[in-house]
Structure 1
Amino acid sequence: MQLAVRETVTATLVDELAAGDLDIVVASLPLGHAAFQEVAVFEDAFLLAVPRQGPYADLAVSSAADILPEALLLLEDGHCLRDQTLTVCGGIEPRRLRSSGVTSLTTILQLVAAGQGITLLPEIFLETFPIDETRIRVTRFSAPEPSRQVGIAWRRSNPRATEFGRLVTSVSDCTTRPDQASV
Structure 2
Amino acid sequence: MSVLFYRCEAAGFDQPLPALPDGFEVSVWKPRRDGLPPRSLPSYPNAVWWLFDKLGLFANPNCGVIMISREGTLAHSSLVTPRYFRFPEMAADDLQIGATWTAPEMRGQGLAKASIGLIHEHWRGAFKRMWYLVEDDNAPSIRVIEACGYSLLGRGVRSVPAGIGPLATYRMTEAN
Q: TM-score range by the shorter chain?
A: under 0.3
Which structure is larger by alpha-carbon Rg, 1 or 2?
1
More helix by share: 1
Q: TM-score, length-normalised on structure 2?
A: 0.27
Greater strand proportion: 2
- TM-score, normalization by structure 1: 0.26
